[in-house]
Structure 1
Amino acid sequence: MQQIKVGISACLLGDEVRFDGGHKRSAFCTEELGRHVEFVKLCPEVGIGMPVPRPTIRLEQHNGEARAVVPKTGEDVTARLIAFADRAQSHITQVSGYVLCAKSPSCGMERVKLYNPDNGHAQKAGEGIFAAQLRQRFPALPLEEDGRLQDPQLRENFVMRVFVYAAWQSLPEAFSKADLLNFHTSLKLLLLAHNQQAYRSLGREVAQLQTVNDAARKTYIEGVMSALASPATRANHTNVLQHIQGYFKQHLSSDQREELTDSILSYRQGTEPLLVPLTLLRHYLREYPSDYLTGQRYLNPYPKDLKLRYGL
């Protein structure tokens, strides 16, 4: 199986490419996620020929749009950053997700300082130029910032989306409606945990398709990734766990059913992590195999050693 590739701001891998000659090494990316993916590292500012160290860039509001400007000289490097995104496109089409450096005028996803050049006042309302290009060109691509990856829910959500998107990319180039139905079926419980309305809507779209052309593929995967972009709620997880529980009701003793019910309710009430009922359900799946449940990405969305559900 081909290794999953993830794009990343080079400074997050420890490369000393920041404006001050430093880095922002991410322990999670380098020590944990890096065991399971191949990183494709880029630094847009170095990529457009700026030195290390270098004068700072900031986002400025000009005629209603954000521009990347070197305040020391007044040089506008927006077009150069967009041209870099053009050159990097062949690399980015290979990745299944992208980790960006927070607050950067090139790579920040959100809340980047956006300056009024007339009075120097700034609002945290901008988006980095390169990050904006990624979002516009690859709307289905999972994006996340290093700072937000410190949040257990956002971290789990990003990694889950990376592995779902990688599975999508691994489908045959000219896959059939049957292939699409199988893929959609594998996502049923995951989508129900994140967005029940989107699951039903996507299911109708797939059922009504006459041919699976490029436009249909694009619409479908963008819908899936949008639905998965918000972390699942405790209530939705509970509904999915109870749905899975139903597959074992004929096999379990009354004590086993009670133990499983209690573990699901304890999770719902916040006294047990998600991992507790999931561990019980996985145990019963080994005891009483179900092809349908085995094929559900919800139960094993990414490698277990990442331990991403421990804090949920």
Structure 2
Amino acid sequence: MFDPPAGHKPKIAISACLMGVEVRFNGGHKESRLCSHALAEHFDFIPVCPEVAIGMGIPREPIRLVGDPARPQAVGSVNPDLNVTQLLADYGRSMATQLDDISGYIFMHKSPSCGLERVKVYRDNGAPQKDGGRGIYAQAFCAQYPDLPVEEDGRLCDAVLRENFLVRVYAYSDYQALCAQGLTRRGLMEFHSRYKYQLMANNPLQYKVLGKLLGSMGRSDANDVGPAYFSQLMAALKRCATRGTHTNVLLHLSGYLKQAISTDDKQEVQQLITQYREGIVPLVVPLTLLKHLFRLHPDPYVSQQVYLQPHPENLSLRNAI
């Protein structure tokens, strides 16, 4: 269940323009109300604008990506002699060193400095290439933190992608707290146990794979195995859960109640799970009933499961999936 330390808010770096800061090339912004209002209550946002940070000024000549989509150059749209590729890449690596306590990053889509994917890359003659690229700053930053949850603002409008991203942010923050206490074999095993049903929802096969990895761990191997385990965990959580995998988890959880609840309650649980699988009701409906029944009939193992509430309830992330 979601139970962060009192007053703790995970830190998320974010493109400054998405927070309403007027840092774009034309002196404007691209405020995301989702980020600046709905999510700001739950996260400490750290606004970053690499183009301003490297001294390009406001307003400024816009830049674009040119050349090989795998290794593009960031040059001026008007003056191609303006090349800020190295400055942006160096700043990305520098910020990766400074922002070593963040749990996620939200980037501005389509940006030649911050875009994560499908950023337009142009040929020398000005024609756009078929394949897009990644922003120079984003590429350099993400290379330093391959496991860090990252997402673009536009994709967060999709309810499934939004929920998936924030599940990963809280998992990353959870692991950071575990590391701060000092990694132990017991701590890793308990962490893995709490994520059992969340993993089953996102990537069922990986729960067993990761369990075997931890099972091979000796008493003094936690610091060696921990990073490999966590890297695979984050990769597994990146796969979005589906109605099918959620349904499977709901059925597993309902099994813990079979000796405790009445026939009528069992039928109601099964009916709501079926309605969810068929797309009639959102995930929050069968989950709410299950959580109510577990409050009446507590189970120590189930009570520790992250899946039941992997993020703050008032974010209402499961009302739309």
TM range (shorter): over 0.9
1:89 Cα offset (Å): 2.2
Q: Which position in structure 2 is the counterpart of 1:201?
A: 209
Alpha-carbon displacement from aligned partner over 1:112-166 (angstroms, at most 9, x marks no partner): 0011113533335111112112321101100011100110111111111111110
Counting strand residues as a fraction of each chain, which structure ranks higher? Answer: 1
| Counterpart secondary structure, 2:306 | coil
Per-residue Cα deviation, 1:202-243 (whole angstroms, up to 9, x for no partner): 111111122435442221111111111121011100000000
Conserved? CA contact 1:8–1:39, under 8 Å: yes
Tell me the equivalent position of 1:94.
101
Preserved contact between residue 69 and residue 121 of structure 2 (Cα < 8 Å): no
CA RMSD of aligned residues (A): 1.4
Give the letter for the 1:45 counterpart.
Answer: E
**Unpaired segments ≥5 residues, structure 1:** none
Task: State the structure with bigger RCO (CA 8 A, min sep 6), 1 or 2.
Answer: 2
Over the matched positions of the two proteins, sequence identity in percent amounts to 41
Distance (Å, rounded) in 1 between the aligned partners of 2:271 and 2:257: 15
So what's the TM-score if we normalise by structure 1?
0.96
Which of 197, 214, 231 is the equivalent residue of 1:222?
231
1:165 aligns with 2:147: no
Gaps of 5+ in 2: none
What is the CA–CA distance in structure 2 between the aligned matches of 1:251 and 1:190, rounded to whole Å? 24
Q: Which residue of 2 aligns with 1:246?
A: 255
- What is the aligned residue count? 312
Correspondence 1:42-61 to 2 at 5 A: 42-61=48-67
Aligned mates of 1:94, 1:178 — CA distance in 2:
24
Secondary structure of the 2:308 match is: coil
Matched, 1:265 2:271: no
Tell me what 1:237 maps to: 246
Give the match for residue 188 of structure 1: 196
Counterpart of 1:283 (choices 273, 278, 292) is: 292
Partner of 1:84: 91
> 2-side partners of 1:41 and 1:168: how far apart?
23
Distance in 1, matches of 2:14 and 2:221, equals: 32
Q: Which residue of 2 aligns with 1:296?
A: 305
1-structure distance, mates of 2:69, 2:287? 53
CA separation of 1:119 and 1:54: change in aligned 2, threshold 3 A? closer
State the SS of the aligned residue for 1:171.
helix
SS in 1 for 2:143: helix
Instruction: Determine helix, strand or coil for the equivalent of 1:122.
Output: coil
What's the TM-score once normalised by structure 2's chain length?
0.94
Contact 2:92 2:138 in 1 (8 A): no
Match of 1:179 among 184, 187, 198: 187
For 1:42 and 1:124, locate their aligned partners in 2 and report how far apart those are by CA, in whole Å: 27
State the 4+ residue runs in structure 1 displaced beyond 4 angstroms.
none
State the secondary structure of the residue aligned to 1:35: coil
- Taking the TM superposition and a 5 Å limit, the aligned residue runs for 1:26-37 are 26-37=32-43
Cα distance in structure 1, aligned partners of 2:244 and 2:87: 46
Q: 2:152: which partner in 1?
A: 145
- Secondary structure of 2:11 counterpart: strand
Counterparts of 1:120 and 1:179, CA distance in 2: 54
Within a 5 Å distance, the mapping from 1:123-138 to structure 2 comes to 123=130, 125-138=132-145
